[in-house]
Amino acid sequence: MNMQLDDNRRLRHFLSLEGLGYDALDRLLNRASEFSAEIGAPAVTTDAFRGRTVANLFFEPSTRTRASFELAARRLGCNVLNLDLNVSSTSKGETVLDTARTIAAMNVDALVVRHGDAGTQEMLARELPHVAILNAGEAHLNHPTQGLLDAMTIRQHFPDFRKLHIAIVGDIRHSRVARSAAQAFSQLGCGEIHLVAPRELQPDDEIPGELFTDMDAGVRDCDVVMMLRIQKERMQAGNIPDKKAYFEAFGLDARRLEFARPNALVMHPGPMNRGTEISDEVADGSQSVIWQQVNNGVAVRMAVLAELLENRN
């Protein structure tokens, strides 16, 4: 059962891209494009959701995702409540539920939740069905608005996913970004997904795509090279790779980018570790769409929030 959908297959919560299907992804991406304005242009805003309240409950540190959700809600006309709950992870399920229940009791319409424990957002959706739960990052498993914004960015350059070869490179094992992105790309019909990582950072679960341990082979002829941050906070101290050795084997620099197609897009979800997974010249180069990803993030979050708030009527 996909518990984010109601009996009429309408979106009630936004927990994962898994199983959402082409039509829902396409609908959300089209709606997001209506909310998008180029970098430097005035933002698209509406009063359509005036009087609604969105609360951001972040149990893990976050700058860009929290800011992006906050702007998205404000640009829809909502009231926004921000709670940084980044305390030591001794707080167990019950405490999280009580925190969420407390906020939900104040006639809040949507809870945007980031948490390091798998299953937190699903538990909240089950326990608090009267409020929409949006997953803003769940352990190493789900980051569905990130997957959507990645798909949106690629679609702006390459409208037909069926022809595309996309490489996702780096710490795939610990990356909720890689999982959500691969789920989006595969449901949009992506031709090939290459999951490129050193053996110790390969996933031990099923992610759509083909595994590569050699970066040159993994990015060869790809239309998109999506780099990931090394998630040191999810590794044991002894397992953190040496920066220089890692960059030599799996970093993206201009020489390596030449293995990809000539107009290949360079992506990164941020925050970037320059010199570890990506060089300055590539991050700041003409093929980089990294700031466009950030720009699209607000638009996709507006689209998801709008749909969830409408479905509560």
- Position among 18, 137, 144, 165 found at the interface with ligand NCD (CB under 6 A): 137
Burial of 56 (0-12, 13-18, 19+ CB in 10 A): buried
Q: Name the residue nearer to ligand NCD (CB basis): 139 or 259.
A: 139
- Position among 103, 154, 177, 225 found at the interface with ligand NCD (CB under 6 A): 177
CB of 259 to ligand NCD, least distance (A): 24
Q: Name the residue nearer to ligand NCD (CB basis): 15 or 104.
A: 15
Which residue, judged by CB position, is nearest to ligand NCD in the bound state?
Answer: 229
Q: Name the residue nearer to ligand NCD (CB basis): 104 or 224.
A: 224
Q: Name the residue nearer to ligand NCD (CB basis): 155 or 229.
A: 229
Per-residue binding letters, 67-106, with ligand NCD (x by CB under 6 A): ----------------------------------------
Q: Examine residue 143 and tell whether it contacts ligand NCD (CB under 6 A).
A: yes
Cα 204 to chain centroid distance, Å, stands at: 20
- Position among 13, 179, 229, 261 found at the interface with ligand NCD (CB under 6 A): 229
- Position among 65, 187, 276, 292 found at the interface with ligand NCD (CB under 6 A): 65
| d(C-alpha 295, C-alpha 44), whole Å | 12
| d(C-alpha 153, C-alpha 251), whole Å | 22
CB of 310 to ligand NCD, least distance (A): 25
Residue whose C-alpha is closest to residue 309's, from 53, 8, 29: 53
Q: Are 96 and 59 in contact (CB under 8 A)?
A: yes
CB of 227 to ligand NCD, least distance (A): 10
Which distant-in-sequence residues (6+ apart) come within 8 Å of 310 by Cβ?
none
Q: Examine residue 146 and tell whether it contacts ligand NCD (CB under 6 A).
A: yes
| d(C-alpha 286, C-alpha 52), whole Å | 40
Q: Examine residue 176 and tell whether it contacts ligand NCD (CB under 6 A).
A: yes
Q: Name the residue nearer to ligand NCD (CB basis): 119 or 270.
A: 270
Q: Examine residue 273 and tell whether it contacts ligand NCD (CB under 6 A).
A: no
Phi and psi for 133 in degrees, rounded to 5? -105, 125
Q: Name the residue nearer to ligand NCD (CB basis): 64 or 256.
A: 64
| d(C-alpha 252, C-alpha 254), whole Å | 7
Question: What are the residue ranges of helices labelled H in the chain?
Answer: 22-35, 64-75, 93-104, 120-127, 144-157, 176-187, 215-219, 243-250, 254-257, 280-283, 290-311
- Position among 36, 185, 269, 304 found at the interface with ligand NCD (CB under 6 A): 269
- The neighbour count for residue 286, using CB atoms within 10 Å, is 7
| d(C-alpha 232, C-alpha 294), whole Å | 22
Looking up tokens 């069926």 gives 162
Q: Name the residue nearer to ligand NCD (CB basis): 64 or 74.
A: 64
Q: Examine residue 234 and tell whether it contacts ligand NCD (CB under 6 A).
A: no
Contacting positions for ligand NCD (CB under 6 A): 64-65, 137, 143, 146, 176-177, 229, 231, 269-270
